[in-house]
């Protein structure tokens, strides 16, 4: 059995974000990097599947500059067998289709039985890449999973819908699944596994060798959102305050939708 | 410009997002048509054509089937833009359609500015203005971002589309959330009670506000410690870490463990008698007032809306 | 007349007496030696650890602790009873030895008898008093054990055997003496020098001489058998402590207090970390179990035990002994219980009071290390999240690392990256950096230093968590990552003096970081400011106020800093009312040992219990000097619903309000 898990390195969402000089993404100064949270669920589920099928071979794939190798090492420490790094200093300028094409380009000759991805990334949140990879490869995909099981070539899973409802779904492998918050609790790598991870194969391929497709989306501008009313202090009569608050909630939030 | 709206239907019900789709089309000043896998008995109020596939035939969840049907409708209507809700349905279907159309997909649009689509990034700390390079594009809309001020009206013209249930994915029904325990980490709106509520009986006014906002209520650690609220309601590093769209902190001064547990909230409204309470540091709005007075009035007014 | 007596009176001194007596004695000693050879083998299952370095110091300490009973008498009533009993018993043992030396060595070999004259009189008197004191103390302890029965004191078969045996040996000794005196000494001036013996003799004076002689001879042999039995059962019963506890004083941890062994992360050969099996603890950890006397002083002081958590330091140590002796393959985390292991706040109250020199805390941390490093287990998901937050942002709260220095904007502080010409580096710590409540303390410290003309630098966003909570939770890997980065930063600026406002940072930087190469002098702000006040460089204008003071574990027990904060309080004009549990007996706030990161979901809240203790003093203000304590008290006082009468404050906040004109 061959398994692929695709991960992304993202800045910690607590970071202070500033727009970069080109005005097309954030400036990287002062950012702390980590594995995209949804991809952690993907890695955990892939590792659990590998543990269930000891002969399985689990590859982790990541696209990005040199620094993403740190995040790949975490995936290796969690239990992936080898890493495939697409070295791309401009990965932040690529759109979901370009990213998905690169992944599919790698996966198409590898005959993976199962591909795991996060359901979206924390920084871009497009929720496209996983499904696009599956569609390019022409394999079924199950999205936003909060439960997963695999036996004899069949995946049984639950998708999370809105309002706490889940949909029970299944499909045959080869297939791709995208992982949602709540699927599992990602493990904390043990020290021996961290040590072992340092010696695992981590192949790095320059993106230029892989013919990335032309972009479908142009970024016109990146900017911080206008102040939501930041730090506004309201005082006064409770009834008036209540009216003011309702007005603010209507204008600045989606709570009263 | 012509837009095809893809409405969402689940468990025998049309979902409310359809009115947001219609409002989006209106705000774009575009001609629109709608596609729905659902039922004749549950149609949205809409002045336009609805291509309706019967969910009994097509299946409520059938990615391949829905994609095929939608592509057929697109072939007929030739829209420049296909719009879906940014929901579990849209996440699943939109990229399939986009790839088939070789079109760009722009996800989670929150605003249209100067004719360009604006999407959030990095936990709403940044916004990106995007432009599809392709002739056509697929768009998903953030829930609540295009809520109309008035519900749309009108009766749609229904065009039935024949469907088959074939597809690689099998759907085996729904499972409702268990009633016990609260998962605040997924709540969109949380109203939390701090020690400032004074006594356990006052938790009710917090619960009422939560109900009025259709959210969940939470609590700070001292309130849980005093056993005024259940442990599962505790927000903070030693309770649940939450990231709602709206967080209302009532009588919470803002101990660091609490702040660390709710700092990912998109909008924070704090109600506190102390203007200098630490919660003010991260609150978008701080109403300086006694929650015992303000919250019941606010609840009443919200219920009256 | 010559003051002396006939040794072996009525018994005889030929081979029919000596042979059985010496055979029995040798047999008893052989049993003891044999059993201890076995026990040493059990101890040796543990890892090597050098506890015989610095031997002269160790021997001095051991002799002091044994003969002055200095560890035992720290708990006054039962401790004094034990000490008096011990001294009585030692004198009786010395007396018996002197008799043996004269009767079987110096007299037959050199015709030398020293138990004569005034020395003999003193000898008789001292032994009589020693015997009666020993009996009285033993009775007192017996009453405590059986009638008073303090909570937690367990009575086992061991205790019954030990008390009965000792009592019968002591009483029978006096009866033997009485019988001899009734025949030989009544009416002589000699009798007055054995007052207790004389009393016994008078009680038996109605008996015929033949009856007295019969009684004497039978009892003498009976007494001998009991003493032989006493010796023989030492290794098998709690009497073992006579040898093991004494020896444990020799093996004492010479400090620095609370230092953990630093794991070598570069060791490629290492396959396991921490302790999952008894063989992964040290031999001293097993020996400790043998030195335990079940006095439960540790349990009495354990904040976890006091709030209905499953941890008893005493039981934990004894369970480790059980595993070592009876089930050496058992898994320690399961046997000891994970809830037990995670409950420890590493407050050190157990270790500080232990009269047997047992080291509880590091045993717990060694097993935690195994859980974290080998199994990736934590007490709860919230702790794992805190660890991950720290890996990414260098603080357990998960706040942006780049904003770590934001609190100091506009204050007279240099960020070392911009200007490293400073007098001290203020190592701020996570809570003072990110928590608004604790930022007030950081700002107060800055103001105080500024008033004293001290130029302060901070690392700002280059500072990371010191790693203390992670290390105490068992995450040595993360700790070393953080420590290495901090040390590198500190070194790069050539700093000569570091001051912290957090006792946890202080303890870690001043002790733990030494192992990783940090040599810079580190102070906690209380000592640092106290010195400035002493020198007159910082002037504080006293204003009277009432308060009580909480000794944080890591300032107090870990670093013996009790006086400096009190001096500062005095300088500020405090009317200090001490809590019952203060100084080395202080009761933890609940946040030590990495528990600051964890939910406290078993039993009641430690911080609330402490808040009640503080409120009981009647003082309106609870002063502490640790960000963890302050955070816990802010919550604990509210939780205990004492917020209308008790307010927690940091010492720095008191001082900053009282800066005098300079």
pLDDT 10s digits, C466-524:
999 999 999 999 999 999 999 999 999 999 999 999 999 999 999 999 999 999 999 99
Which pLDDT band holds residue A230 (cuts at 50, 70, 90)? low
Whether residues A169 and A125 fall in one domain: yes
* Apex B261 CA angle, B257 and B266, nearest 5: 135
Q: Is residue A27 part of a domain?
A: yes
- With CB atoms and an 8 Å threshold, state whether B238 touches C599: yes
B238/C contact by beta carbon, under 8 A: yes
pLDDT category at B231 given cuts 50, 70, 90 is confident
The reply to whether C546 and C487 lie within a common domain is no
- A188 and C378 within 8 Å at the Cβ level: the answer is yes
pLDDT confidence bin for B179, thresholds 50/70/90? low
Query: By the CB < 8 Å criterion, does B195 face chain C?
Result: yes
Q: What was the pLDDT predicted at B260?
A: 81
Percent of residues, chain C, with pLDDT higher than 70: 100
Q: What are the pLDDT digits (tens) for B15-39?
A: 888 999 999 999 999 999 999 999 9
Domain boundary among C511, C533, C555: C533
Partner-chain contact B226 C641, CB within 8 Å? yes
> Which residue did the predictor score with more confidence, B292 or B33?
B33
Q: What is the pLDDT of residue A161?
A: 87
Contact between C401 and A34 using a beta-carbon 8 Å cutoff: no
Q: Which residues pair with A168 in a beta bridge?
A: A158
Measured in degrees and rounded to the nearest 5, phi and psi for residue C111 equal 60, 35
Look at A12 and C393 and tell me if their CB atoms are within 8 Å.
yes
- Poorest-confidence range of A132-136, B273-277, C405-409, C549-553? B273-277
Residue that wins the pLDDT comparison between B292 and C318: C318
CA distances from C65 to A144, C74, C354, C360 (A): 67, 11, 12, 19
- Are residue B188 and residue B84 in the same domain, yes or no? no
Interface test with C, best of B229, B260, B262 (most C CBs within 10 A): B260
Which of B107, B170, B189 has the CB atom closest to A169's CB atom? Answer: B170
Q: How confident is the model over C441-462, as a mean pLDDT?
A: 98
CA B222-B225-B230 angle, to 5 degrees, is 110
pTM of the entire predicted model: 0.91
Does residue B170 form part of some domain? no
Q: Please tell me whether residues A119 and A245 are part of one structural domain.
A: no
Are C401 and C513 part of one and the same domain? yes
Scanning B48-107 for CB atoms below 8 A from A yields 61, 63-64, 86-89, 91-92, 94-96, 98-100, 103-107
Residues in chain C within 8 Å Cβ distance of A192: 271-273, 374
**Which of C230, C250, C270 is the endpoint of a domain?**
C250
Residues C517, C630, single domain; the answer is no
pLDDT at residue A7 tops 90 = yes
Contact C401 A189 (CB under 8 A): no
∠ CA C569-C573-C579, rounded to 5°: 50
Residue A120: give its domain's CATH number: 3.40.50.620
- C117 shares its domain with C238: yes
Measured between CA atoms, the residue of chain A closest to residue B281 is A231
Angle formed by the axes of helices A238-252 and B291-304, nearest 10°: 60
Residue B203 and residue B65 share a domain: no
Q: A: neighbours with 3+ CB pairs under 8 Å?
A: B, C
> Which chain C positions have a beta carbon within 8 Å of A195's beta carbon?
268
Q: How large is the C-alpha radius of gyration of chain C?
A: 31
Dist CA B65 CA B171 (whole Å): 12
CB C347 within 8 A of CB C340: no
Query: B85 with B200, same domain?
Result: no
Is residue B238 scored above 90 in pLDDT?
no
User: Hey, are the CB atoms on A224 and B126 less than 8 Å from each other?
Assistant: yes
Statement to judge: residues A39 and A66 lie in one domain: yes
Q: What is the mean pLDDT of residues C378-386?
A: 93
Q: How far apart are CA B292 and CA B248, in angstroms?
A: 14
| Chain C nearest C-alpha distance from B189 (Å) | 22
Residue C267 has pLDDT above 50, yes or no: yes
Number of domains in chain C: 4
One domain, residues A36 and A159 = yes
Minimal Cβ distance to B170: which of A95, A143, A171: A171
Helix axes C117-143, C157-184, angle to 10 degrees: 150
Q: Please name the residues between 116 and 155 in chain A that touch chain B, using a CB distance below 8 Å.
A: 119-120, 122-128, 131-132, 135-136, 140-144
Going by pLDDT thresholds of 50, 70 and 90, the confidence category of residue A99 is very high
Q: Which residue has the higher pLDDT, C621 or C266?
A: C621
ipTM: 0.91
Q: Which region among B149-153, C118-122, C580-584 has the lowest average model confidence (pLDDT)?
A: B149-153
Same domain membership, residue C325 and residue C232: no
Considering only the beta carbons, identify the residue of B95, B104, B267 that sits closest to A228.
Answer: B267
Q: Is residue A218 part of a domain?
A: no
Q: Which residue has the higher pLDDT, C382 or C250?
A: C250
Domain identity same for C100 and C240: yes
- Residue-level pLDDT at C55: 97
Please judge whether A144 and B92 are an interchain contact, meaning their C-beta atoms are less than 8 angstroms apart.
Answer: yes
In chain A, count of helices (H) and strands (E)?
6, 13
Range(s) of the domain holding residue A31: 2-210
| Whether residue A239 sits in one domain with residue A195 | no
pLDDT at C661: 82
Q: What is the pLDDT of residue B177?
A: 67
Q: What domain range includes position C97?
A: 50-250
The residue segments making up the domain with residue B125 are 2-161
Which chain B residue's Cα is nearest to A238? Answer: B294
Asked if the Cβ–Cβ distance from C374 to A190 is below 8 Å, we say yes
Structure confidence at residue A227 (pLDDT): 59
Q: How confident is the model at residue C539 (pLDDT cuts 50, 70, 90)?
A: very high
Domain containing residue C340: CATH number = 1.10.1060.10
Is A110 in the same domain as A230?
no
Contact B95 A96 (CB under 8 A): yes
Q: Do A65 and A177 fall into the same domain?
A: yes
Burial (CB count within 10 angstroms: exposed 0-12, middle 13-18, buried 19+), residue A105: middle
Pair (A49, A134) in one structural domain: yes
Residue B255 at interface with chain A, using a CB cutoff of 8 Å: no
Residues B139 and B281 in one domain: no
Interchain contact, B238 vs C598, CB within 8 Å: yes
Question: Which range, of A2-16, A111-125, A220-234, C392-406, averages the lowest pLDDT?
Answer: A220-234
**Nearest residue, CB atoms, A32 vs list C273, C375, C392:** C392
Domain count, chain A: 2
Q: Minimal Cα distance from A168: which residue of B?
A: B172
- The total number of structural domains that make up chain B: 2
For residue C2, what are the contacts with CB-CB under 8 A and spacing of at least 6? C116, C117
Shortest alpha-carbon distance between residue C378 and chain B (Å): 13
- Cross-chain residue pair B266–A253, CB shorter than 8 Å: yes
Average pLDDT over residues A104-119: 97
Is the CB of residue B135 less than 8 Å away from at least one CB of chain C? no
- Whether residues C95 and C233 fall in one domain: yes
Answer yes or no: do A128 and A253 share one domain.
Answer: no
Look at residue B180 in the predicted model and tell me its pLDDT. 58
Q: Per DSSP, what are the bridge partners of residue C171?
A: none
Are residues B16 and B151 part of one domain?
yes
Contact C386 B255 (CB under 8 A): no
Q: Does B113 touch chain A (CB under 8 A)?
A: no
Average pLDDT over residues A177-188: 94
- Say whether B260 and C398 touch across the interface (CB within 8 A): yes
Q: Do residue C306 and residue C351 come from a single domain? A: yes
By the CB < 8 Å criterion, does C635 face chain B? Answer: yes
What is the rounded distance in angstroms from the CA atom of residue A34 to the CA atom of residue A74? 9
> Which residues are CB-neighbours of C364 under 8 A, at least 6 positions away?
C316, C341, C344, C346
Q: How confident is the model at residue B248 (pLDDT cuts 50, 70, 90)?
A: very high
Q: What is the pLDDT of residues C543-583, one digit of tens each?
A: 999 999 999 999 999 999 999 999 999 999 999 999 999 99
Exposure b/e, B127-155, CB count within 10 A at least 16 = b: bbbbebebebbbbbbbbbbbbeeeebeee
State chain C's maximal CA–CA distance in angstroms. 101
Same domain membership, residue B17 and residue B150: yes
pLDDT for the residue numbered C563: 98
Same domain flag for A24 and A73: yes
Hey, of A173, A183, A249, which one would you mutate to test binding to chain B, going by the most B CBs within 10 A of its CB? A249
Is pLDDT above 60 for A228?
A: no
- Whether the CB of B225 is below 8 Å from some CB of chain C: the reply is yes
Q: Is C257 domain-assigned? A: no
Considering only CB atoms, A189 lies closest to which of C376, C401, C403, namely C376
Round to whole Å and give the CA distance between B54 and B164: 9
Strand, helix or coil for residue C23: helix
Look at C435 and B226 and tell me if their CB atoms are within 8 Å. Answer: no
Closest Cβ opposite residue B61 in set A169, A230, A239: A169
Chains contacting B (3 or more CB pairs within 8 Å): A, C
Grouping H, G, I as helix, E, B as strand and the rest as coil, residue C152 is coil
Mean confidence (pLDDT) of chain C: 96
Spatial CA neighbour of C503 closest among C459, C462, C561, C452: C561
Closest CA relative to residue C198, chosen from C209, C187, C208, C206: C187
pLDDT of residue A229: 47
- In CATH, what number is assigned to the domain containing residue B147? 3.40.50.620
Contact B285 A219 (CB under 8 A): no
Backbone angles phi, psi at C372, to 5 degrees: -80, -50
The CATH number covering residue C467 comes to: 3.40.50.1860
C6, part of any domain = no
Alpha carbons C104 and C452: distance in angstroms, whole number: 75
Per CB-CB distance under 8 Å, the chain C contacts of B243 are none
Q: Do A166 and B171 touch (CB under 8 A)?
A: no
Same domain for B224 and B91? no
In this predicted model, which residue has the larger pLDDT, C307 or C638? C307
- Determine, for residues A165 and B108 on separate chains, whether the beta-carbon distance falls below 8 Å: no
- Residues of A with CB below 8 A from B289's CB? 235, 238, 241
Same domain, B144 and B188: no
Which residues are within 8 A (CB) of C249 and not within 5 positions of it... i.e. 6 or more apart? C61, C62, C65, C66, C71, C357
Residue B281 forms contact with C (CB below 8 Å): yes
Instruction: Indicate if C105 and C246 belong to the same structural domain.
Output: yes
Query: B246 touching A, CB under 8 A?
Result: yes
**Where residue B260 sits, what CATH number does that domain have?**
3.40.50.1220
- Which H helix or E strand runs over B179? none
Residue A156 in any domain: the answer is yes
Q: Which of C399, C431, C639 sits opposite B226 (nearest CB)?
A: C639
Q: pLDDT at position B88, please?
A: 93
Give yes or no for a contact between A5 and A41, defined as CB atoms under 8 angstroms apart. no
Q: Which two tokens stand for residue C573?
A: 């004009």
Percent of chain A with pLDDT over 70: 98
Nearest CA in chain C to B256: C435
Beta C574-576 vs C545-549: how paired, if at all? parallel
Tell me: do C185 and C142 sit in the same domain: yes
Q: Tokens at residue B169, please?
A: 């994915």
Percentage above 90 pLDDT, chain C: 94
pLDDT at C215 over 90: yes
In a domain, C260, yes or no: no
The nearest CA of chain C is from the CA of A104 a distance in Å of 30
- pLDDT at residue C326 in the model: 97
**Subunit contact B302:A119, Cβ cutoff 8 A:** no
Q: Which of B142, B145, B153 is nearest to B27 (CA)?
A: B145
For an interface test with A, the pick among C263, C388, C465, C471 (most A C-beta atoms closer than 10 Å) comes out as: C388
Q: How do residues B41-100 score in pLDDT, each as one tens digit? A: 989 999 999 999 999 888 899 999 999 999 999 999 999 999 999 999 999 999 999 999
- Average the pLDDT over A214-230 and give the result: 83
């Amino acid at each position: 059995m061959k398994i692929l898990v695709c991960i992304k390195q993202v800045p910690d969402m607590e970071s202070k974000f500033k727009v970069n000089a080109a005005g097309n993404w954030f400036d990287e100064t002062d950012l702390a990097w980590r594995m995209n949270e949804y991809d952690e669920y993907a890695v955990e589920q892939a590792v659990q599947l590998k543990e269930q099928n000891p002969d399985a071979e689990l590859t982790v794939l990541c696209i990005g500059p040199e620094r993403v190798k740190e995040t790949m090492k975490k995936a290796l420490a969690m239990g992936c067998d080898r890493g495939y790094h697409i070295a791309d200093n401009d990965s932040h300028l690529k759109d979901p289709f370009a990213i998905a094409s690169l992944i599919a380009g790698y996966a198409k000759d590898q005959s993976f039985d199962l591909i795991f991805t996060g359901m979206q990334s924390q920084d871009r949140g497009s929720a496209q890449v996983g499904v696009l990879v599956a569609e390019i490869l022409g394999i079924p995909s199950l999205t936003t999973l909060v439960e997963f099981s695999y036996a004899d070539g069949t995946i049984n899973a639950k998708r999370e819908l809105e309002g706490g409802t889940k949909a029970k779904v299944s499909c045959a492998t080869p297939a791709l699944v995208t992982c949602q918050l709540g699927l599992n609790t990602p493990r904390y790598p043990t020290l021996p596994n961290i040590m072992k991870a340092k010696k695992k194969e981590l192949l790095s391929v320059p993106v230029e060798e892989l013919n990335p497709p032309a972009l479908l989306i142009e970024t016109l501008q990146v900017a911080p959102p206008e102040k939501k009313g930041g730090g506004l202090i309201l005082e006064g009569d409770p009834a008036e305050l209540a009216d003011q608050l309702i007005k603010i909630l209507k204008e600045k939030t989606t709570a009263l939708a | 410009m012509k837009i095809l709206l893809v409405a969402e239907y689940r468990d025998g019900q049309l979902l409310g997002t359809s009115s947001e789709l219609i409002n989006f089309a209106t705000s774009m000043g575009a001609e629109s048509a709608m596609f729905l896998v659902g039922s004749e008995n549950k149609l949205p109020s809409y002045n336009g054509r609805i291509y309706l596939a019967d969910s009994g035939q097509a299946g409520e969840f059938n990615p391949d089937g829905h994609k095929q049907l939608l592509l057929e409708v697109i072939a007929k209507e030739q829209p420049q833009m296909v719009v879906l809700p940014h929901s579990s349905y849209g996440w699943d279907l939109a990229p399939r359609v986009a790839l088939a159309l070789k079109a760009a997909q722009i996800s989670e649009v929150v605003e249209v500015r100067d004719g360009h689509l604006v999407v959030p990034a990095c936990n709403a700390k940044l916004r990106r203005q995007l432009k599809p390079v392709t002739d056509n594009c697929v768009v998903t809309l953030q829930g609540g971002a295009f809520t109309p001020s008035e519900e749309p009206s009108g009766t749609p013209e229904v065009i039935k589309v024949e469907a088959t249930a074939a597809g690689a994915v099998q759907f085996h029904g729904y499972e409702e959330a268990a009633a016990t325990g609260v998962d605040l980490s997924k709540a969109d709106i949380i109203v939390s009670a701090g020690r400032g509520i004074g006594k356990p009986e006052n938790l009710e006014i917090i619960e009422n506000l939560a109900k009025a906002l259709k959210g969940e209520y939470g609590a700070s650690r001292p309130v849980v410690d005093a056993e005024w609220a259940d442990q599962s309601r505790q927000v903070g590093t030693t309770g649940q870490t939450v990231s709602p769209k709206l967080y209302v902190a009532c009588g919470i001064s803002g101990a660091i463990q609490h702040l660390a547990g709710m700092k990912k909230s998109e909008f924070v409204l704090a109600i506190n008698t102390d203007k200098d309470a630490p919660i003010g540091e991260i609150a978008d709005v701080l109403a300086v007032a006694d929650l015992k007075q303000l919250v019941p009035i606010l609840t009443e007014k919200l219920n009256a809306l | 007349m010559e003051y002396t007596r006939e040794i072996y009176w009525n018994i005889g001194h030929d081979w029919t007496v000596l042979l059985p007596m010496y055979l029995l004695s040798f047999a008893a000693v052989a049993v003891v030696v044999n059993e201890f050879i076995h026990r040493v083998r059990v101890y040796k299952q543990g890892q090597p650890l050098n506890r015989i370095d610095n031997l002269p110091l160790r021997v001095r300490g051991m002799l002091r602790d044994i003969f002055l009973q200095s560890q035992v008498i720290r708990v006054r009533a039962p401790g004094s009873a034990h000490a008096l009993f011990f001294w009585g018993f030692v004198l009786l043992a010395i007396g018996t030895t002197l008799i043996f030396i004269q009767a079987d060595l110096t007299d037959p070999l050199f015709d030398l008898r020293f138990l004569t004259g005034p020395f003999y009189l003193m000898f008789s008197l001292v032994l009589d008093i020693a015997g009666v004191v020993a009996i009285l103390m033993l009775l007192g302890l017996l009453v405590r054990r059986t009638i008073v029965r303090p909570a937690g004191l367990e009575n086992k078969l061991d205790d019954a055997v030990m008390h009965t045996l000792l009592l019968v040996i002591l009483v029978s000794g006096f009866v033997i003496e009485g019988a001899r005196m009734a025949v030989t000494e009544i009416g002589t001036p000699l009798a007055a020098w054995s007052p207790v013996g004389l009393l016994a003799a008078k009680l038996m004076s109605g008996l015929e001489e033949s009856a007295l002689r019969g009684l004497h001879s039978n009892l003498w042999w009976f007494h001998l058998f009991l003493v032989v039995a006493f010796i023989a059962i030492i290794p098998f019963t709690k009497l073992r402590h006579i040898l093991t506890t004494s020896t444990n004083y020799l093996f004492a941890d010479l400090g620095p207090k609370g230092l953990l062994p630093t794991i070598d992360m570069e060791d490629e050969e290492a396959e396991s970390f921490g302790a999952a099996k008894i063989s992964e603890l040290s031999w001293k950890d097993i020996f400790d179990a043998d030195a335990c006397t079940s006095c439960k002083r540790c349990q009495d002081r354990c904040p976890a035990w006091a709030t209905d958590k499953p941890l008893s330091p005493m039981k934990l140590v004894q369970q480790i002994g059980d595993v070592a002796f009876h089930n050496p393959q058992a898994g320690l985390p399961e046997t000891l219980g994970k809830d037990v292991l995670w409950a420890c706040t590493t407050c050190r109250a157990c270790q500080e009071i232990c009269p047997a020199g047992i080291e509880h805390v590091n045993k717990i941390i060694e097993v935690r290390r195994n859980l974290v490093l080998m199994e990736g287990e934590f007490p709860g998901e919230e702790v794992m999240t805190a660890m991950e937050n720290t890996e990414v942002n260098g603080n357990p709260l998960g706040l942006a690392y780049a904003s770590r220095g934001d609190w100091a904007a506009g204050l007279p502080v240099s960020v070392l990256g911009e200007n490293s010409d400073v007098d001290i580096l203020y190592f701020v710590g996570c809570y003072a950096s990110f928590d608004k409540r604790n930022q007030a303390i950081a700002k107060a410290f800055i103001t105080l230093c500024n008033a004293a003309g001290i130029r302060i630098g901070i690392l700002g966003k280059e500072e990371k968590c010191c790693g203390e909570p992670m290390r105490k939770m068992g995450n040595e890997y993360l700790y070393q990552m953080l420590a290495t980065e901090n040390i590198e930063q500190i070194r790069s600026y050539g700093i000569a003096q570091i001051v912290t406002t957090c006792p946890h940072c202080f303890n870690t930087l001043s002790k733990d970081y030494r192992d990783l190469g940090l040599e810079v002098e580190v102070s906690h702000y209380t000592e640092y400011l106290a010195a400035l006040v002493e020198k007159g460089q910082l002037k504080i204008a006293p204003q009277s106020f009432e308060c009580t003071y909480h000794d944080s574990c890591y300032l107090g027990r870990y670093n013996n800093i009790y006086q400096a904060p009190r001096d500062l309080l005095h300088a500020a004009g405090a009317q200090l009312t001490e809590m019952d549990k203060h100084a080395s007996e202080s009761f933890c706030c609940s946040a030590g040992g990495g528990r600051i990161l964890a939910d406290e979901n078993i039993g009641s809240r430690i911080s609330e219990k402490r808040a009640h203790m503080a409120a009981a003093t009647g003082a309106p203000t609870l002063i502490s000097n640790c960000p963890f304590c302050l955070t816990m008290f802010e919550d604990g006082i509210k939780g205990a619903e004492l917020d209308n009468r008790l307010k927690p404050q940091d010492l720095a906040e008191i001082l900053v309000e009282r800066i005098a004109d300079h």
